[in-house]
Amino acid sequence: MSSESANAASHNVAAFFAELSRIYQADRILTNNAQLAPYESDGLTCFRARPCGVVLPETQQEVIDTVKLCHRFEIPFIARGSGTSLSGGAVPIENGLVIAMNRLNRILRYDAQQRVAVVEPGVINLKVSQHVAGDQLYYAPDPSSGPVCTIGGNVAFNSGGAHCLKYGMTSNHVLGIKAVLPDGQVVELGSDSLESVGPDLTGMFIGSEGLFGVALEVTLRLLPKPEKYYTLQAAYDSLEKAGNAVAMVVASGLLPGAMEIMDRLSMDAAEAASAAGYPKDAKAILIVELEGTTDEVDAEMPLLHGVIEESGAYTVEAARDDEHRLKIWKGRKSAFSAVGRLSPDFIVQDGVVPRTKLAEALGEIERLSQEYGIRVANVFHAGDGNLHPLVMFDGREEGALHKAEELSGEIIRLCIRLGGSITGEHGVGLEKRMYLGEMYGEDDIEFMHRLQGAVDPQELANRGKKLPAATAPALLTRGAHPLEKQGVIFRD
């Protein structure tokens, strides 16, 4: 950059901040280093970037005005919720603006009879279910970060959770979105009806990882809470047997709400963290959860037990009550952060394979783990083939991160080769951009770039995420998120 253009750029930034200060009082514009530090990273702590500032809007109009201003001054921006992204999706753009959405946390409308809630994007995922619990309703998507992650972030990344097999992901539970496009234009997509006419623009906006703009209001579909849950935990002497059990449950015609598998290493981790009480000699445990009306679940229980017995489980434990059920889930949901007890650093992957290829994929991961001499723990949503291998390493060892990255890459490619996906629910973010082009063809990637270009010609909105061929911020060391270390957030 010539000194002349550098001067012009800094003049531009100064003018931009002068305009911002007409929108925000001084205490809602953060610019000094100490204030910016918490916003430099997200749940994937190896990526960091320094934004030029952070604004804390309290109204939709402030967000709209901010986006318009960014457009006018050509300042790239990212809207951020709680920053729990596991793919680097909420990492700021170097010298760009962070629009922190957490104060837009109002539930604007709740209609129990219509089973919808209209919320602002800063509303916490779990708060929605808590808000509507009195009417025996709930919001189905349950990412493990549910107690802290926001609906806006869920929308941007089409977040999943443990119950996707039966109920789908975030996009299956959002009926409408009011959003501001990257040039400040406001659009209303969808409505409060379950049905619609015309292309599904709401569906297209969801999972666009912030590239299409910022959600201002989200209309959520609520479901009646299942009357009864029946959760069982079966122990196996091999991972393969647990995988086969999943296929047998599916073949039986049952449609469980969730099916999860943990391998020995992840059980050890969970045990170290929360004394979950897993069988000491088990090589894998399978968690299956039935849910529905009491009558239906009661009728399904013997069927499920028959299948599990036949599958060669050597101990089967059913949740005695709600408390026991929550304990089983807590063990599962905390497995990732618990891995921090076994290894100073780890990479979590999110690939998907066809369910019939689960055993093959796990066998291959095991082989790769031995070949690389790197421990890999496996915790996964077995019902939908969504793997979460945890690749463990010590960032203080020379070259360890690089080697772990390499192994992770091989696992992602394995998922592509088996006909699956590079990400089931964490999104592409910064982390998996280079693999997108291996999952899709070159033409498809180019087409996606054109779509981005049509919506946001200047590439201001969350520039550098999701699509390949953009410069990435520096890769630093890996490690648990500070909140994760405290056990506040969990990874799925």
Binders of another protein among 219-258, rule CB under 8 A? 224-227, 247, 250-251, 253-255
User: Quick one: which of 14, 194, 275, 469 contacts another protein (CB under 8 A)?
Assistant: 194
Q: Is 153 in the site for another protein (CB under 8 A)?
A: no
Strand 284-292 and strand 258-263: the pairing is antiparallel
For another protein, the binding residue among 353, 377, 382, 400 (CB under 8 A) is 353
At closest approach, how far in Å is the CB of 63 from another protein?
Answer: 17
155 close to 170: Cβ distance less than 8 angstroms: yes
Binders in 432-491 for another protein, by CB under 8 A: 432, 436, 439-441, 443-444, 447-448, 450-451, 453-455
**Sole residue written with tokens 């009879």:** 113
Q: Which of 205, 236, 346, 490 binds another protein (CB under 8 A)?
A: 205
Residues 392-431 that bind another protein (CB under 8 A): 419-428
Least separation in angstroms between residue 228's CB and another protein is 9
Kindly tell me which residue out of 54, 101, 206, 391 binds another protein, with binding defined by CB under 8 A. 206
Nearest to 475 by CA among 62, 200, 91: 91
Closest by CA to 328, choosing from 424, 400, 230, is 230
Is residue 187 close enough to count as binding another protein by CB under 8 A?
yes
Residues near 323 by beta carbon (within 8 Å), at least 6 away in sequence: none
Cβ-based nearer residue to another protein, 102 or 202: 202
CB of 395 to another protein, least distance (A): 27
Distance CA 174, CA 194 (A): 9
Which of residues 212, 230, 236, 278 is near another protein by CB under 8 A? Answer: 212
Contacts of 448 (CB under 8 A, 6+ apart): 440, 467
C-alpha closest to that of 413 among 491, 478, 492, 349: 349
Per-residue x/- track, 64-103, another protein (CB under 8 A)? ----------------------------------------
Distance CA 285, CA 235 (A): 4
27 binds another protein (CB under 8 A): no
Considering beta carbons, is residue 371 or 444 the nearer one to another protein?
A: 444
Quick check: 314 and 233 in contact, CB under 8 A? no
Nearer to another protein by C-beta: 136 or 238? 136
* Distance, CA of 274 to CA of 88 (rounded, Å): 28
